[in-house]
């Protein structure tokens, strides 16, 4: 399981994914992109189900959008 979220009007992307090393745990990578989509900075940390649920609720409220993996690759130039 993995999902990308982007706050509306922001150059930040939050990537939630299942931790392959610790069963039932979530990791989060936050990417800060420049105006051209290049990654300016990033951090990785353990995430929580509560954070993931908060992101999902923010989509419902119109504060975040879900970014597909294809959109992420297009935005960042990732392969």
Residue with tokens 């150059």: 11
CA distances to 21, 25, 45, 50, 57 from 32, in Å = 26, 23, 15, 22, 22
Residue 48: the pLDDT is: 85
Rounded to an integer, what distance in angstroms lies between the CA atom of residue 34 and that of residue 39?
6
- Half-sphere exposure (CA, 13 Å, Cβ side) for 24? 0
Residue 13: the pLDDT is: 94
pTM: 0.84
Q: Which pairing describes strands 64-67 and 26-33: parallel, antiparallel, or unpaired?
A: unpaired
Per-residue pLDDT tens over the stretch 9-63: 998 999 999 988 887 789 999 999 988 888 999 999 988 888 999 999 999 999 9
Residue 41: the pLDDT is: 94
């Amino acid at each position: 399981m993995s999902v990308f979220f982007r706050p509306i009007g922001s150059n930040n992307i939050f990537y939630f994914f299942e931790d392959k090393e610790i069963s039932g745990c979530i990791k989060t990578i936050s990417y800060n992109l420049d105006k051209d989509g290049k990654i300016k900075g990033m951090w990785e940390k353990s995430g929580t189900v509560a954070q993931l649920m908060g992101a999902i609720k923010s989509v419902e409220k119109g504060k975040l959008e879900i970014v597909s993996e294809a959109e992420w690759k297009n935005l960042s130039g990732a392969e």
